[in-house]
Amino acid sequence: MKLLIITVVEGLQQEVAQLLKEANITNFSASDIDGFRNAIPVISSENWFASSTNTTQSHLYFSFTETDKIEKLFSLIEVFNNHLETNNPIRAVVVPIEKYI
């Protein structure tokens, strides 16, 4: 068993859900997150409560799943990202699980 983590920008949630379904990963969790890119560190910013920030609405998915399903998903994501017209590909990582109950 491994931990699969996926991040994606707002607007690609349906595509991620479809890819997970195609890889037969039926159990997963999702959460809305704020993505940051080239942000000025909070410590050096003059106003900590500025109304505009360098954030992107994003989504985080994670699943504890088997290696064969992850391999299928990675193949699907690679094909999807190769045909993506934006600079915001689906990102995925796998973390090995040493022990679980």
Inform me whether the pLDDT recorded for 17 exceeds 60.
yes
DSSP H or E run through 44: none
The burial class, CB within 10 Å (0-12 / 13-18 / 19+), for 34 is exposed
pTM of structure: 0.80
Domains of the chain with bracketed CATH? 2-36+58-96 (3.30.70.120)
Mean pLDDT (the chain, rounded): 86
- Using CA atoms, how far apart are residues 44 and 21, in angstroms rounded to an integer? 44
* DSSP bridge partners of 95: 3
Q: Among residues 56, 10, 49, which one has the least CA distance to residue 30? A: 10
> For residue range 28-57, what is the model confidence (pLDDT) as tens digits?
999 999 877 665 555 555 555 555 567 788
Q: What percent of the chain has pLDDT over 70?
A: 83
Written as six digits, the tokens of 6 are 């996926």
